[in-house]
A and B are shown apart, each in its own frame.
Chain A
Amino acid sequence: MVFPAIVVVLLFNYVPMYGIQLAFRDYDFTKGLTGGAWRGLHYFEQFVTNYMFADLMKNTVTISLATIILGFPAPIVLALILNQVKWRRAKKTLQTTVYLPHFISIVVMVGLLNVLLSPNTGIVGHILDWLGWGDFNMLASTRAFVPVYVLSDIWQHCGWNSIIYLAALSTVDPQLYDSAKIDGAGRWQTILHVDLPAIKPTIIILFILSMGNVLGTGFEKVFLMQNALNLPVSEVIVTYVYKIGIISNQFSYSAAIGLFNTLINFIFLVAMNAISRRASNISLW
Chain B
Amino acid sequence: MELAAKKNKSAGDAVFDAVIVVLCAFIFLIVAYPLYFVVIASVSDSTLVSTGHVILFPKGFSLFGYHEIFKDARIWTGYKNTIVYTLLGTFVNLLFTLPAAYALSRPEFRARRFLMLLFVVTMFFNGGLIPTYILMKGLHLTNNLWVFIIPFSVNIYNLIIARTFLENAIPKELYEAASMDGCTHFTFFMKVAMPLSKSVVSVIGLYYLVAHWNDFFTALIYIRSNSLQPLQIVLRDILLSNQVFAGGAGTGGDAGGYAQRYADQIKYGVIIVSTLPILLVYPFIQKYFEKGVMIGSIKG
Contacts and interface: CB of A to CB of B under 8 A. Distances in A.
Contacts of A13: 122, 126-127
Interface stretch (B67-75, B148-156, B175-183, B194-202): B148-156
A78 B102 CA distance: 35
A105 B232 contact: yes
A205 to B, nearest CB: 5
B16 A187 contact: yes
B64 interface: no
A13 B124 CA distance: 11
Given A84-B20, A219-B217, A159 B31 contact: yes
B126 A262 contact: yes
**A100, A115, A167 — which one has the most chain B CB atoms within 10 A of its CB?**
A115
Q: How large is the interface on B (under 10, 10 to 19, 20 to 34, 35 or more residues)?
A: 35 or more
A120 interface: yes
Nearest to B214: A105
A108 interface: yes
Contacts of A123: 37, 41, 52, 55
Contacts of B102: 1
A51 interface: no
A112 B138 CA distance: 37
A96 B297 CA distance: 19
Interface in A254-285: 254-255, 258-259, 261-262, 265-266, 269, 284
Contacts of B298: 164, 201-202, 205-206
B31 A100 contact: yes
A164 B161 CA distance: 13
A97 interface: yes
B24 A90 contact: yes
Contact of B126 (A17, A110, A115): A17
A198 interface: no
A265 B123 CA distance: 12
Interface string A101-135: 10111111011101110101101001000000000
B179 to A, nearest CB: 15
B135 A2 contact: no
Interface in A61-117: 78, 81-82, 84-87, 90, 93-94, 96-101, 103-108, 110-112, 114-116
A20 interface: yes
**B135, B159, B238, B278 — which one has the most chain A CB atoms within 10 A of its CB?**
B135
A45 interface: no
B245 interface: no
Interface stretch (A3-11, A142-150, A172-180, A228-236): A3-11
**B27, B102, B127, B289 — which one has the most chain A CB atoms within 10 A of its CB?**
B127
A19 B50 contact: no
B38 interface: yes
Contacts of B131: 15-20, 22, 33, 255
A4 B96 contact: yes
B255 interface: no
Contacts of B156: 9
A187 B124 CA distance: 40
Given A78-B27, A187-B12, A202-B298, A108 B271 contact: yes
**A2, A32, A259 — which one has the most chain B CB atoms within 10 A of its CB?**
A2
Contact of A8 (B1, B38, B154): B154
Interface of A is mostly: helix
A186 interface: yes
Contact of A258 (B41, B128, B290): B128
Given A155-B31, A167-B293, A266-B124, A1 B99 contact: yes
Contacts of B127: 13, 15-20
B99 A4 contact: yes
Contact of A81 (B24, B97, B239): B24
Contacts of B268: 115
Interface string A209-244: 000100000011000100000000000001001100
Nearest to A255: B130
A163 B271 contact: no
Given A2-B103, A2-B115, A126-B52, A245 B31 contact: no
B100 interface: yes
Interface in B230-253: 232, 235-236, 238-240
Given A100-B31, A167-B290, A254 B20 contact: no
Given A22-B130, A114-B267, 17 more contacts: A8-B154, A9-B154, A32-B138, A33-B138, A81-B23, A100-B35, A101-B31, A104-B275, A107-B232, A115-B268, A121-B260, A163-B294, A245-B130, A246-B130, A246-B221, A258-B129, A266-B125
Query: Which 3 residue pairs spanning A and B have beta carbons closest together?
Result: A16-B127, A19-B131, A111-B239
Interface of A: 1-2, 4-6, 8-9, 12-20, 22, 27, 32-33, 78, 81-82, 84-87, 90, 93-94, 96-101, 103-108, 110-112, 114-116, 118, 120-121, 123, 126, 155, 159, 163-164, 166-168, 186-188, 201-202, 205-206, 212, 219-220, 224, 238, 241-242, 245-246, 251, 254-255, 258-259, 261-262, 265-266, 269, 284
6 contacts: A12-B132, A17-B126, A22-B130, A168-B297, A186-B12, A255-B128
